[in-house]
Amino acid sequence: MNCDAAKERMSERWLHGLDESRRIELETHLAACPSCREESTALNALWQAMEDVPTEEPGRQLRAGFEWMMQAYRMGVAESSVRKRIAAPRQPLWQLAVASLTLVFGLVAGHLYTARTQDQATIAQLGVEMKTMKHLVTLSLLRQESAGDRLRGVSFSESMSATDDEVLSALVRALSNDPNVNVRLAAFDALTRNPASPSVRKGIRDAITYQESPLLQIALIDWAVNNKDRGAMDPLRQLERQPELHPAVRVRLREAIRSFQ
């Protein structure tokens, strides 16, 4: 046994263990080869030590997210894009077996080969051109008729760690168009959890002029003040000109405009 074979054998031992004869072969080599012996001792111990690296249990968000995904999927939003059939038509292997035996091997091998490369291609494409799970769930829930579902959409967007432009623009849309004030409020909170990108900033500034709910108006005014967003000055002045403004909002608005000067 040479050193390369010994290394492969060590690796084999970590996972499967070795039967008597294979173990003796390895140990014979180790006895004769100090460098492999050293490596074996150290790496065996390291393999053991890896046991001690802890893993955390998944939180309940994981299950909730999965359930929402299934629900969102059933709501049919996904249907149109999934319809794209990329896989080759599947044929039971026995149909191929009616062909001559020599052909079978060729066909089966070929079938499996193309299937595998297609899998790889399809899956690799995903990250680039297909939408993610977060899109599916957030965007489909935000489109639901039920305000409770749309709220869940907003809350789902918050549960994921990565930010995503398309989800952010869906939240901006919710802030500006959602018929329910509580959903708009939640969307605003979700948008302001992270430092706003220029497009989100613009969405929030725009909202200042047309939000009619005093709760939202005050939240937006506070956002402008806290972020020292000078770009919000024009929308704030526009808001000030609205005659039917709630008195509490007007007080807050005047303070805000003053703080900018």
Partner 1 sequence: MKPISAFLIAASLLTAAESNAQKQTLSFSDPAAAKRLEVSLVNGSITVKTHAAKEAIIEGNVAATQRKQPPPGMKRLDTGLPGLGSEQTGNTIKLHAIHKANVTIWVPAETALKLNTINGGDIIVEGIAGEIDTNNINGNITLTDVSGPVVAHALNGKLTVSLSKLDSGKAMSLSTFNKDVDLTLPADAKASVKLKSQNGEIFTDFDVTLKGAPVVEESKKEPPASNKNSSPRTRTRTVRFEKVSYGTINGGGQEIQLTTYNGSIYIRKKK
Partner 2 sequence: MTERTDDELMAEVSGGLVDGLTQLFERHHRALHRFFSHLTGSASTAEDLTQEVFFRMLKFRETFQSGGKFTPWMYQIARNVHFDHCRKRTIEMPVAEERKLWEPADPSPQQDWTMMRAADVATLRRAFLRLPAAQREVLVLARYQELPYDEIARVMGCEPGTVKSRVFRAMKELSGLFVRLSGRRAS
Are the C-beta atoms of 197 and 225 separated by less than 8 Å?
Answer: no
Query: Which one of 4-12, 13-21, 112-120, 221-229 is the stretch in contact with Zn ion (CB under 5 A)?
Result: 4-12
- Between 6 and 185, whose beta carbon lies closer to partner 2? 6
Min separation Cβ 32 and partner 2, Å: 17
Please report the DSSP string for 198-219 in residue order: HHHHHHHHHHHHH---HHHHHH
| Residue 218 touches which member of partner 2, Zn ion, partner 1, none, C-beta under 5-8 Å by kind | partner 1
Are the C-beta atoms of 254 and 261 separated by less than 8 Å?
Answer: no
| Residue 36 touches which member of partner 1, partner 2, Zn ion, none, C-beta under 5-8 Å by kind | Zn ion
CA pair distance 92, 89, nearest whole angstrom: 10
Find where tokens 């509580």 sit.
182
| Residue 33 touches which member of partner 1, partner 2, Zn ion, none, C-beta under 5-8 Å by kind | Zn ion
* The amino acid at 247: P
Min separation Cβ 148 and partner 1, Å: 4
Task: Provide the 8-state DSSP code for 57.
Answer: P
Are the C-beta atoms of 117 and 88 separated by less than 8 Å?
Answer: no
Considering only residues 36-75, where is the footprint of Zn ion by CB under 5 A? 36
Query: Which one of 2-10, 94-102, 116-124, 181-189 is the stretch in contact with Zn ion (CB under 5 A)?
Result: 2-10
Query: Which one of 25-33, 93-101, 124-132, 222-230 is the stretch in contact with partner 1 (CB under 8 A)?
Result: 222-230
Contact set with Zn ion (CB under 5 A)? 3, 6, 33, 36
